[in-house]
Chain A
Amino acid sequence: KAGVTQTPRYLIKTRGQQVTLSCSPISGHRSVSWYQQTPGQGLQFLFEYFSETQRNKGNFPGRFSGRQFSNSRSEMNVSTLELGDSALYLCASSLDILAGGYNEQFFGPGTRLTVL
């Protein structure tokens, strides 16, 4: 079974630009979560999507947005990039078969974004 895939793996942008990152979950998984990892702030939750709906959002500015498609693939977008947005962005998918229950998340390889 293929794992979570993320594209692109590496990205270099300049301040003010915008960027779109893509995540394809494990087949059959309907929940996709995004996390940002930086040396200073560690791993932080960005948002979670299920059935094309955002169910949970972390404490990030509105420049960070996302969406999920009917095939469960998800994209996140960062507009007006800042130097501090340089990070590893990780996507995780889970089955989410039980509302309010435990569903292990499986992480993709991540997209390394560098903002110059």
Chain B
Amino acid sequence: ELKVEQNPLFLSMQEGKNYTIYCNYSTTSDRLYWYRQDPGKSLESLFVLLSNGAVKQEGRLMASLDTKARLSTLHITAAVHDLSATYFCAVVIIQGAQKLVFGQGTRLTINP
């Protein structure tokens, strides 16, 4: 059974600092999503990573995928308060139909 593990689960950081969230998964998959969720809200798609070595950047966020290591990272550069949210990675499993297996989520708090 596929397991997806994120770390850290909780992260409190100061504005202006850099940090990385890690997402490890246990079974071969070459497709991975990163989502953002604000309290009480739905999931907002941030990045879709489709192949080994994929790197995508949007503003202060950058995501990468290493399918051989079964590892994805979400790097935050010069954090700002607006990035405070819970971030999930999700690995795509295709068994007749695709489904997403989510990590536990990383609750990120950025302090002014």
Contacts and interface: CB of A to CB of B under 8 A. Distances in A.
Nearest to A57: B99
Contact of A31 (B41, B88, B95, B97): B97
A107 B42 contact: yes
A104 B43 CA distance: 13
Nearest to B1: A59
Looking at chain A's contact residues, the main secondary structure is strand
Across chains A and B, which 3 residue pairs bring their CB atoms closest together, nearest first?
A: A55-B97, A43-B102, A107-B43
A62 interface: no
Interface of B: 31, 33, 35, 40-45, 48, 50, 88, 90, 92, 94-105
A58 B102 CA distance: 13
Contacts of B94: 100
Interface of A: 31, 33, 35, 42-45, 48, 50, 55-56, 58, 90, 92, 94, 96, 100, 102-110, 112
Given A45-B99, A50-B97, A108 B42 contact: yes
A90 B44 CA distance: 12
Contacts of B96: 55-56
